[in-house]
Structure 1
């Protein structure tokens, strides 16, 4: 396996390294979305509305946990990317050891808390009494598996940061296939197995994650990955306090920004709900399709962070602006194509979820209003990813949260009062546009100061 720093240093164009990261990342996100959709369809078909409600009642907790996982993954990708770009495999293993320790401890804490705290948690969330038992079983099963979940996501982040996004893709492909088969078996108890109900969907996820872990580890072994070159018994594979501190400085702000975005969605959903169930259904269907349009916008930001970390680790920080420019151009092309395809296919695709003409019209209007602004989000993600890799974390995070809480949400209230329902949809472009402006100003200021420092040092 070649060090990706060689690709970043020697190739005239950064397009090939970008695509080597971006394509597997987008495909992996698509597979995860398909897996979630299949699980939902099986639960709806086999358990009906009560099963769907039991799983949905856990979503607020899931979003918080997902924010933590994404923050940790972002930090791991940057730190291992810098070590990998420098060709310092001891540092790679040190980051890996620290990340795995942090991931396992966080997962274990959640698992232990779930043993006695799952039911009180679901009561606190206001779960209806008729689904409390089913929801508690599902929540407990999901939370008990958190050590595995955190560890698997961390290993995939390590692999991507080390320039190998293909292994996580194959792992997720295997998990999706296994989950599609295991979910109906465990939910309904086919083949003499006990029927687990909603908890069967969570148990299916555990089985799928075990398979994914095996696939990922198997590919590492076959590729003689440096993480395994000296065996996991290497003294470098251990918790390192300094590395852990750097990890928290990157991961915690990233998690907070994810939480602020989730909070904004909750507030917007509350505004949408005031317009009745028809609009709520349209909003839910449109956001499903929008998530697919957002895949390249999210993934190009991840790729920008990893490639920036590689060139910084290799001692070629002056190449980061080139990484940014290539990422901005790639986002403009790929995300625009996704947005255009989504807009053109919106009526046909949304009919899979909506049969009422009124709700279909609302959903199409929302999607076509918001889709183009996802390009702005992608540009912002590229800048944010490069800044994160450069060690600038708190300010971009604060600016992103400012755009969400001080622009997007107020815009929703103001525009709804003036334009009616369409005003809610225009809040998304307003928020994404504000985020792009703020992150652009932050990036420009950072590189201006850095260039001045380099000139002074050279003089």
Structure 2
């Protein structure tokens, strides 16, 4: 649980942030380990087949991200206002909607997987494997949805330790199952996503029993079961806060699909390099994303407890953390870029390409972090539409045109300069709106 309000903010922030960062790293590590198994055992083509599905998965998980963002803000405010029954009601409604969404998206996606991958322009030599991987991933989405939304809701009450421990168990299970499924069961490229789905299902059940045993206020007890029927009024507020975040993620995912299409035009080796760069870059961005989540949760708790005057302190603390933590990781990646890329692929030409692309994009994670911190704090108060529009403009109006034009001028590396331009614009525009407009408004609790 979150430490008392009289503890210095930077300490509270760090206590919340470190387990959150560790969980995000472990979450990505689970995918990374599986990709290493796929790339090393099944080859570059199999890795490319798994890599091209990543933006598709992110697109469909956008629904969950928006739902979780809205629910965690409301839970943070309810927790700050000391309203445990309201916390329970928000939790029950969100879990039910997440499960239903996972079943619908997973079912439809599993049926349409081959068509989706073909529409992306997936190279013919990897299309069958890519379709197989996509179908298995869709089938696992209900389990993935429940696990991810449960972790997000716990953060709303300041609990990041239990999600971390549960993620550690899931990562170990997944890492153990994947080689077994590849080498002994002969399940091929889909082994990675099947192992992850099973790991999340087991870990979610385990987390539920753990919360019940310790009497956690969000435990799956009789009170929570009574609130599993959606509260439509609460759901409306959750969606009002979270939907813009989901829309922004959808737009970002659609742009990623366009980017994948551009990359596929350079061949499957470029697709493999993209997969490796995406994995490494996700680690670099995890501190920034974690800090933005922490800023949003702490902002919501401040608002719920009637301490909105401390939001600027939350901003300063988050920016300091971004500079120190994200900046340190950026430096490490530059020092060891060849080594980390080599974990995924053995083809030296692909390794060299991926390393060069990392050198272009990695430093821009600091700008990415600053932009998401601004929007995260504003989301804590329910201000979401303008930050969403800024984010969409940076993707559609800056990233895609820049990447498209520069890919024709500079080749493959021009695509990554589009990301750099987008991150820089997002930091400047979100910061301008924060200081020039939002900061002058009176902030009120949503629940």
Normalising by the residue count of structure 1, what TM-score does the alignment of the two structures yield?
A: 0.85
What is the aligned partner in structure 1 of residue 174 from structure 2? Answer: 179
What is the aligned partner in structure 1 of residue 26 from structure 2? Answer: 31
CA deviation string 1:331-358 (max 9, x = no partner): 1111111111111222333344566666
Comparing 228-237 with 203-212, which one deviates more in the overlay? 228-237
Deviation at 1:329, TM superposition (A): 1.2
CA distance in 1, matches of 2:220, 2:266: 59
What is the aligned partner in structure 2 of residue 250 from structure 1? Answer: 241
- Assess if the C-alpha contact under 8 Å between 2:79 and 2:301 holds in 1: yes
- Assess if the C-alpha contact under 8 Å between 2:56 and 2:253 holds in 1: no
Are 2:317 and 1:326 aligned? Answer: yes
Q: Secondary structure at the match of 2:441?
A: helix
- Assess if the C-alpha contact under 8 Å between 1:94 and 1:238 holds in 2: no
Q: What count of residue pairs does the alignment treat as equivalent?
A: 444
Distance 1:46 1:249, change over 3 A: same
Deviation at 1:327, TM superposition (A): 0.5
Structure 1 unmatched ranges of 5 or more: 455-459
Are 2:89 and 1:94 aligned? Answer: yes
What is the aligned partner in structure 2 of residue 427 from structure 1? Answer: 418
Deviation at 1:112, TM superposition (A): 4.4
CA distance in 1, matches of 2:159, 2:75: 12
What is the aligned partner in structure 2 of residue 441 from structure 1? Answer: 432
Distance 1:139 1:369, change over 3 A: closer
Normalising by the residue count of structure 2, what TM-score does the alignment of the two structures yield?
A: 0.87
- Assess if the C-alpha contact under 8 Å between 1:76 and 1:154 holds in 2: no
- Assess if the C-alpha contact under 8 Å between 2:44 and 2:345 holds in 1: no
After superposition, where does 1:207-246 map in structure 2 within 5 Å?
207-228=198-219, 231-232=222-223, 235-246=226-237
Deviation at 1:90, TM superposition (A): 0.8
Deviation at 1:121, TM superposition (A): 5.4
CA distance in 2, matches of 1:322, 1:446: 18
Larger Cα-atom Rg? 1
What is the aligned partner in structure 1 of residue 371 from structure 2? Answer: 380
What is the aligned partner in structure 1 of residue 37 from structure 2? Answer: 42
CA distance in 1, matches of 2:34, 2:344: 16
Deviation at 1:397, TM superposition (A): 0.6
CA distance in 2, matches of 1:272, 1:128: 11
Pairwise CA RMSD of aligned residues?
Answer: 3.2
CA distance in 2, matches of 1:149, 1:273: 28
Deviation at 1:70, TM superposition (A): 1.8
CA deviation string 1:142-198 (max 9, x = no partner): 3333332222211111111111111111111101111111223334445xxxx5444
Structure 2 unmatched ranges of 5 or more: none
Q: Find the partner of 1:164 among 115, 137, 159.
A: 159
Deviation at 1:58, TM superposition (A): 4.4
- Assess if the C-alpha contact under 8 Å between 1:81 and 1:310 holds in 2: yes
- Assess if the C-alpha contact under 8 Å between 2:88 and 2:224 holds in 1: no
Instruction: Between the two structures, name the one with larger relative contact order (CA 8 Å, sep ≥ 6).
Output: 2
CA deviation string 1:340-382 (max 9, x = no partner): 1111222333344566666555444432332222111111111
Deviation at 1:320, TM superposition (A): 1.3
CA distance in 2, matches of 1:20, 1:92: 22
Deviation at 1:39, TM superposition (A): 1.9
CA distance in 2, matches of 1:340, 1:303: 23
